[in-house]
Amino acid sequence: ETGVTQTPRHLVMGMTNKKSLKCEQHLGHNAMYWYKQSAKKPLELMFVYNFKEQTENNSVPSRFSPECPNSSHLFLHLHTLQPEDSALYLCASSQVRGDYNEQFFGPGTRLTVL
């Protein structure tokens, strides 16, 4: 595997289900990100992990719970979601160094909440 991988690619879940999204980066980067992408809206940064420490949590509802067990893996645990949470969830990684932060993205998980 190369780059950033995400599983599953597609997920349909009911509002009472619990599921998890997985992201793995094979680039040796020190930061990982979860974004939400909705149609015709900017990418919304949800969580940032820098050196495995969560450094950003942009007012994300508690029904989304991130986990970063090591610098290569990132999870997003989902429970009691709402239909408006249906979106493309993108994971990204970067090597944060000084004044440059090019981010590398995975293919995303297309989530549908019924």
Positions that interact with another protein (CB under 8 A)? 4, 40-43, 45, 48, 56, 90, 96, 99-108, 110
In the complex, the smallest distance separating the C-beta of residue 96 from another protein, rounded to whole angstroms, is 7
- For another protein, the closer of residues 53 and 102 by Cβ is 102
Least separation in angstroms between residue 8's CB and another protein is 14
Instruction: Rank residues 43 and 79 by Cβ distance to another protein and give the closer one.
Output: 43
Q: What is the 3-state secondary structure (H, E, C) of the chain?
A: CCCEEEECCEEEECCCCEEEEEEEECCCCCEEEEEEECCCCCCEEEEEEECCEEEEECCCCCCEEEEEEECCEEEEEEECCCHHHCEEEEEEEECCECCECCCEECCCEEEEEC
Query: Is 36 or 78 the residue whose CB approaches another protein more closely?
Result: 36
